[in-house]
Structure 1
Amino acid sequence: MYDVIVIGGGPAGLQAALTIGRMHRTVLLLDSGEYRNGTVEHAHNLLTNDGRSPAELRRIARDELAAYDTVKVRGASVTAVSGALGDFSVTAAGGVERARRLVLATGMRDELPAVPGLAEQWGRRVAQCPFCHGHEFARQRVAILIEGEHSLMIERMLRPVVASALIAAPADVARVEEAGEGLALTLAGGGVEHVAGIFTAATARQRAPFAAQLGCALLPSGGVEVDPLGRTTVPGVYAGGDMAHLAAVPGPMVSLAAAIASGQLAGASAVRDEIMA
């Protein structure tokens, strides 16, 4: 019986495990090896680590966790969760593990517009966050493939950064192909436009079903509802990272820094609630 099981080995889960481990509570982190930023070559907008690869950040974090005797990290995909406060069961490769509390940090998966070639460039020359990827296209031409007024907001954010922006609906583009140091967009109405990169809007879905299996409330965004201390609506279950957010905001802040902060909050709350019980 662990004090806490953390499901998810991204920044939120790793930070939650570190926070719990530093309080000498027993914690098992289960990492499926699948990450939302798995195709991203360089992480940005993260103080002291701007430009480092996400894979390297995870490696460093796991090395740090190895220094704590009460922390175990296992590469395993979870298939089911059940139980209640004081006795949760987590089924993964290798058997069933039990814990008094759970931290969910399984993240989201992105569904891109159905434009041929777009997915192959996702996380490289196709992105959705100007804060994380805008500077890399400084003084170059980009395309914004987003429906409605959201495209205008992205364009205004990028004005001081890029040379110019082509705004089009995804349906206006027949395909995207790599072309030299940039991308070629074949338009549905004919013609080809060349850009350095593309910003688009992905639809985020829960990567794992565990919050639903446990009965955690979901928000209209598809995120798991948490309170200001990272607690879900199910006692003993906490959530961090981009899979969860407060009901008062429309969605999560999708960034490594925000994920780390929420993971620390979830881990600290799990320890605090243990001693307050």
Structure 2
Amino acid sequence: MYDALVIGGGPAGLQAALTLGRMHRTVLLVDSGQYRNGSVAHSHNFVTHDGRSPDELRRLAREDLSHYPSVELREGTVEGVSEIDDGFEADLGGETVRSRTLVLATGMTDELPDIPGLADAWGAEVANCPFCHGHEFADRPIGLLGDGPSIGELEAMLAPIGSEVLTFAKDDLSKVERTERGLLAHRTEGEPVELAGLFLHPSTAQAAPFAEQLGLDILPSGCVRVDALNRTSHPRIFAAGDLAHVEELPVPMPSILAAAAAGQAAGASAVRWLANPEAEHEGNPLTD
């Protein structure tokens, strides 16, 4: 039986495994190879790694993990997870593995509006986070798709970056088309508009069913409810990255750096539980 099973090979899962490994805990990390930022060419706003590709960041992280004998990494998909008397049992497609604790780092999936061309440009000219993508659109027109208070806030944030910021309702656009310099936004009425890029807030959903299967508390954001130490409503389960949300924060904070920080907290919390299960259970406000 492993001390911890980490599901998800993005920054949250990799950091959680590293934290556990440094404390000489036996860890199995299962990586499906599917990532929310899989279409992103360059990561930004990560000190010392600004502009590095997500693939390269994962390669470097795996290299770090290779120095810790108690950490095992496997490529594959977890088909299901169930609770047993002394921990958890996971189906790895014909093979069963067991662990005392579980770290969920499976992320979220983005559900884009049904506008032709958006999916093709997602992660490049079409993005969600201005901190990750805004600077690359500097001094050119930037588009926003959607409405509501969050779009107004996004418009104010991008105002110092773009030459102008143009807001479109979802039914204003018939399609978007990638060009050498950015995007051509085709409007349902009027001439097309040239943009450096377009921002929107997509709908999101859990990328894996494990949180629901295990009965974890889910917030209105669709994310797993965690405390500041990335403990869930189950004393043996920890969650980190995009799928987790500290309730006191107004919205989830998806970024590579934030995911890694959450992974460190989740890994450390798992170590504490393994060292003293009763004390850690008593200190968790989500399970009291």
Q: TM-score, normalization: structure 2?
A: 0.94
Q: Give the distance between the partners of 1:85 and 1:275, measured in 2 at CA.
A: 18
Helix, strand or coil: the match of 1:241?
coil
Shift of 1:114: 1.2
- CA distance 1:85–1:20, change in 2 (3 Å): farther
Number of the residue aligned with 1:201: 201
Shift of 1:249: 2.0
1:163-202 CA distance string (max 9 Å, x none): 1111111210000011222111110113211111101111
Q: Give the distance between the partners of 2:249 and 2:35, measured in 1 at CA.
A: 24
Helix, strand or coil: the match of 1:151?
helix
The number of residues matched between the two structures is 277
Instruction: Assess if the C-alpha contact under 8 Å between 1:223 and 1:251 holds in 2.
Output: no
Q: Give the distance between the partners of 2:64 and 2:85, measured in 1 at CA.
A: 29
Q: Give the distance between the partners of 1:86 and 1:18, measured in 2 at CA.
A: 24
Shift of 1:273: 1.1
Number of the residue aligned with 2:24: 24
Give the partner amino acid of 2:191: G
Q: Give the distance between the partners of 2:16 and 2:259, measured in 1 at CA.
A: 10
Number of the residue aligned with 2:244: 244
Asked if 1:160 corresponds to 2:163, the answer is no
Shift of 1:252: 1.5
1:116-166 CA distance string (max 9 Å, x none): 101110001000111111101111111111222322211110111111111
Q: Give the distance between the partners of 2:8 and 2:119, measured in 1 at CA.
A: 23
Helix, strand or coil: the match of 1:267?
helix
Asked if 1:144 corresponds to 2:144, the answer is yes
Give the partner amino acid of 2:80: A
Give the partner amino acid of 1:29: L
Instruction: Assess if the C-alpha contact under 8 Å between 2:87 and 2:236 holds in 1.
Output: no
Instruction: Assess if the C-alpha contact under 8 Å between 1:107 and 1:241 holds in 2.
Output: yes
1:188-229 CA distance string (max 9 Å, x none): 113211111101111111000001111111001100011221
Instruction: Assess if the C-alpha contact under 8 Å between 1:6 and 1:104 holds in 2.
Output: yes
Give the partner amino acid of 1:28: L
Number of the residue aligned with 2:5: 5
Number of the residue aligned with 1:40: 40
Aligned 1:1-277 pairs, distance under 5 A: 1-84=1-84, 86-277=86-277
Instruction: Assess if the C-alpha contact under 8 Å between 2:104 and 2:239 holds in 1.
Output: yes
Give the partner amino acid of 2:38: G
Q: Give the distance between the partners of 1:198 and 1:37, measured in 2 at CA.
A: 17
Shift of 1:94: 4.9
- CA distance 1:85–1:164, change in 2 (3 Å): farther
Shift of 1:85: 6.6
Instruction: Assess if the C-alpha contact under 8 Å between 1:86 and 1:101 holds in 2.
Output: no
Q: Give the distance between the partners of 1:84 and 1:257, measured in 2 at CA.
A: 33
Shift of 1:67: 0.7
Give the partner amino acid of 1:62: R
Helix, strand or coil: the match of 2:242?
helix
Shift of 1:9: 0.2
Give the partner amino acid of 1:162: G
Give the partner amino acid of 1:249: L
Instruction: Assess if the C-alpha contact under 8 Å between 1:85 and 1:236 holds in 2.
Output: no
Instruction: Assess if the C-alpha contact under 8 Å between 1:117 and 1:176 holds in 2.
Output: yes
